[in-house]
Amino acid sequence: MPATRGRSKTPAKSPSRGRSKTPTPKAKASPKTKSTPKRTTPVKKSKSPAPARRRTAVNVRELNPTPGRPSSRPAPKTAKPKKSWHPLLLVGSSSVFGSTAPPALNTVVTMAFWNAAFFFVEYTLREVFARTIVAYPVFALERSRHVLARHLGTDFFACALCAGIACLNLKHLDSFTRKFWDPDSRWSKAYESRMYKYIPEAHHVLLIFSAYQIKNLFDAVVWNDGPLFIFHHVFSFIASWSAMHGGGHGLGHTYALFYMGVSEISTTVLVVLANFDDEHGVAGLADAFPLTKNIWGGLFVAAFVVCRCVLWPFVTKFILQDLSAMIANEKDKKSQNIKGLLQCIYFICASLTALQFVFLLQIFYMAYVEISKML
């Protein structure tokens, strides 16, 4: 038959590429040993151990100390604020006072500047009055013109500055404002924010106020104002200086904005009203301008009652509480180092508060005399 070109119908056997289909004979086990199946245990993957944390023994009493017993662990160190640079003459806006208290030398130099400014304004007004109002009979006497120059050039000028700076920074007194209108509002018993916090605007007020008290004490002696006013000026200066540099860091700037600033609103009105007094003011001025005197008298009574008889005792209550807490806190090293000064400030605040009511009695007596004259 002729050979076909296609594939053969009978498939040709090809050698297998895989294993042979014919089973291979198994090896016989030796008669001496019997093959026992081996137990296979799952092998655990070994993990690299994590670095063990260092455990330290913690004393429960250290974390939760018993009441009245201080913790044995030292308090965490807080970063001290960097001392800011201050010019020798602290004149201008409150920004020149920086974020920390200026040195005492800068304060003394600036106080001397302000006293020179008070003398300059007063003596300038003396010359102005000698050339202008001398024609009026009530100002014919030189003493009358000098008294008017003192009350306007020194007293009104200084009190208006202190009260104006404080009223422009009432934001620092928000806690007192909330407590005054809402007695149930929250009040922090921690005194650090009120007694140790440095406020540049408060230092500005304190510096002008301290310089004014020096000039005021000089005038009280020269014009023979009496021992009561001398007592007031000396104690006021001690309090203001302690607030600036007490303990080397200052004290109670929050309170100082009220005592040496806001409360001086009534004093600003008083120094104008004092010109109408025949003994300590211009003789005959009240008779020449009776309506003007009554207007200023009414303004002073209203300002004094609000600032000195309502707000003053309210703020004094809290500063006496803070001072008592500072004196009793033996853990506060700052307060313990100036414990004597704190006791002195406590006595001054209580005394000046009592003095406000003495002034109030004088006001009532003067009002009674004036009303009797009108009747």
- Rg from Cα positions in the chain: 44
Q: What is the 3-state secondary structure (H, E, C) of 318-332?
A: HHHHHHHHHHHCCCC
Average pLDDT on 184-204 reads 86
Query: What pLDDT does residue 189 have?
Result: 78
In terms of Cα–Cα distance, which of 340, 165, 316 is closest to 255? 316
Average pLDDT on 67-90 reads 60
Query: What pLDDT does residue 40 have?
Result: 52
Query: What pLDDT does residue 162 have?
Result: 96
150 in any annotated domain: yes
What is the chain's mean pLDDT, rounded? Answer: 81
Residue 47 confidence class, pLDDT cut points 50, 70, 90? low
Residue 1 has pLDDT above 50, yes or no: no
Residue 14 has pLDDT above 80, yes or no: no
Beta carbons within 8 Å of 246's beta carbon, 6+ residues apart: 338, 341, 345
Cβ-count burial 301-339 (b if 16+ within 10 Å, e if not): bebbeebbbebbeebbebbeebbeebbeeeebeebeebe
Residue 299 confidence class, pLDDT cut points 50, 70, 90? very high
Structural domain count, the chain: 1
164 in any annotated domain: yes
Residue 61 has pLDDT above 60, yes or no: no
Query: What pLDDT does residue 62 have?
Result: 46
Taking a C-beta distance cutoff of 8 angstroms, is the pair 350, 320 a contact? yes
Average pLDDT on 143-169 reads 95
In terms of Cα–Cα distance, which of 233, 117, 148 is closest to 225? 233
Tens of pLDDT along 92-111?
887 888 888 899 999 999 99
191 in any annotated domain: yes
Global pTM?
0.74
119 in any annotated domain: yes
* Domain housing 316: 94-374
Does residue 15 or residue 131 have the better pLDDT? 131
Least confident of 1-10, 203-212, 269-278: 1-10
85 in any annotated domain: no
Does residue 115 or residue 225 have the better pLDDT? 115
Residue 59 has pLDDT above 70, yes or no: no
Residue 219 has pLDDT above 60, yes or no: yes
Query: What pLDDT does residue 178 have?
Result: 86
128 in any annotated domain: yes
149 in any annotated domain: yes
101 in any annotated domain: yes
Q: How far is CA 290 from CA 43, 157, 358, in A?
A: 112, 24, 26
Query: What pLDDT does residue 49 have?
Result: 55
The type of residue at 162 is C
